[in-house]
Structures are given as C-alpha cells and as structure tokens.
Copies of this chain bind each other. A is one copy, B any other.
Amino acid sequence: MTQKTELEILLAVVDHGSFSAAARVLGYTPSAVGKRVHQLEQRLRVPLLVRTTRRMTLTEAGQRYVEEARDLLARLTALEEDIADDAASLRGTIRLTSSAALGRLHVVPPVIEFMERHPVVEIDLLLTDKIVDLVGEGFDLAVRSGTLPDSSLVSRKLMSNRRVPCGAPAYLDQHGLPQQPEELTTHSCLHLGQEKRLLDWGFTRNQGGITRLGSGFSCNSLEALHAACCAGHGIAWLPEFLIAHDLHKGRLVPVLIDHADPNAGGGIFVLRPKATFLPRRVRALTDFLADHFTDIRTD
C-alpha cells in the first residue's frame, strides 16, 4: 500500500506532535502531510487541529475523532492481517486420493466447492480403485468406502456405506424376483473382485454361509458393475452412493432387502497418515468434507 490513509497520517501527526515529525516518520514531506490533513478536514468540514508553527492542539472534534477512529482503524488492520495470515497458513497443495466412482460422484463436487472457497489451496486428486500407500506416495488424504482400514491411518467416518442388492426391472421381469438369498445361486450375479459367496454380500439370514453366488460378470470396477446391472445383465450388490438416483428413478430395483444387513458395506471414511503433522489446509478440507457429505441419500 503505497498510499497511506488520511486517518493513518492524522494519527501519526497527533502521536508525534507535529507535521514535520510525522512526515519524517512516514517518509513524506511536511507539506504532503499538511495537505492530507487538510483534505480530511475539508471532507469532514471540521477543523481537527489548531496549528501554530510551534504548537499543535486537537480540537474537540479532532480529539473525539482520533480517539474513536484510532480504535476502529486498529481493528480493521488487525482484521486484514489476520485474514492475510489465515490465507497464508492455508496456502499449499493437498494431495488427495479416492476410489473412482465414489470420487467422481461425491468427492469431486465438494472439493470443487472447497476450492472456490479457498482459492489459495491447490488440490491434487487421484481417482483410482487401487489402494494407494498414503505415506509412501505422499498423500495427505484419502476418501474410501468399505470396512475400516489399517490402523496406521487416522480415520474419520463421513457416513455409513449402505449397499443394496439390486437389479434392473427388465432383468427381474425376465428371471423373477428372488425371495431367499439362496436363490441367488441360480441367478446371474455381478460381483466385485473376490466377493463370490452369499456371505460376502452381507446377508443376515443365509444358513449355509458359504453358498456361492450365481455365476455372472465379475469385475474390479464398481462402475462397470453398475453399468452392467443397469443394462439388465444381472443382480449386483451396489453401494447406495452409486445408485441412489437409479433407485429413485426406478432404473434399478432393490432385492432381498429384508435379508440384507444394511451395515455390511462398512462406511465411507476420510483417512490420513497417523504420524505426519496435520497442516491447516488439510484439516480444513477434512472438516469441509465431513460437513458436505451428508446428503447422498436425498439426491
């Protein structure tokens, strides 16, 4: 700020007792100082200082103005400094990873909003379904769904990760609606990676427990399963965050909901390395995610 405010100049004059002294301190010439004070007086239409060449007295108005305005100015500059410092301490990059589907649907939107609110922080987001080593690869945060992960990470639960068995209406019309979990052994089942047994799908009341799911598409990508399921290729056990909209629109229909454990899917968590120092920007993003991760079911 090359240009000091009228108020700052006035205060300097009052504090140092003369125009010249204030000018020396502020790095101006005396005449410049005098002019600025004169400007202020003209703006307020009130003389603030009675000047003789040797002495300088505040008028009643000047005294009041100085007393009260000094406080206000101090508060304003304090506020500005505080905000600047705040931003400075937030500045930096956050390296963040998330699984593909979850990230695309529910991490990217709040992260974008966060970036608008905090333009000084930069975000480096990696969407992958592979489990990355946070510490080893230098990530600050990860957003993951599932059961609670290993304990070298600090976890914060954003919400529970309900998963529901479901299928497209076309498929169910053709192949019938299963009434018991065991019936799935004869259905086309779309399963994720190693989830091949009824038990893996979190059914509460299946007797055998180890009964294999019916054969069908198997893939490590949730989004691929999702697409296949919508296309009528079978029944899949999909997380609610992925299909809420489809269920609402009727593009997918839940199946065997009385037999499914709603908590079997675990939760959605933010994770961070345990040992490392937590920068303010990371804490801010964690809090922001926690605040904005509530309304998945309602959309």
Contact = CB atoms under 8 A, between A and B. Distances in A.
A120 B3 contact: no
A195 B87 CA distance: 84
A79 B79 CA distance: 19
A70 to B, nearest CB: 11
A110 to B, nearest CB: 14
A43 B72 CA distance: 19
B117 A60 contact: yes
A64 B117 CA distance: 11
Interface stretch (A4-12, A26-34, A153-161, A244-252): A4-12
A84 B44 contact: yes
A68 B79 contact: yes
A17 to B, nearest CB: 16
A111 B5 CA distance: 34
A187 interface: no
Q: Chain A contact residues: over half helix, strand or loop, or mixed?
A: helix
A59 interface: yes
Contacts of A43: 1, 80
Nearest to A288: B60
A194 interface: no
A64 B44 contact: no
Interface string A241-276: 000000000000000000000000000000000000
A232 interface: no
A118 interface: yes
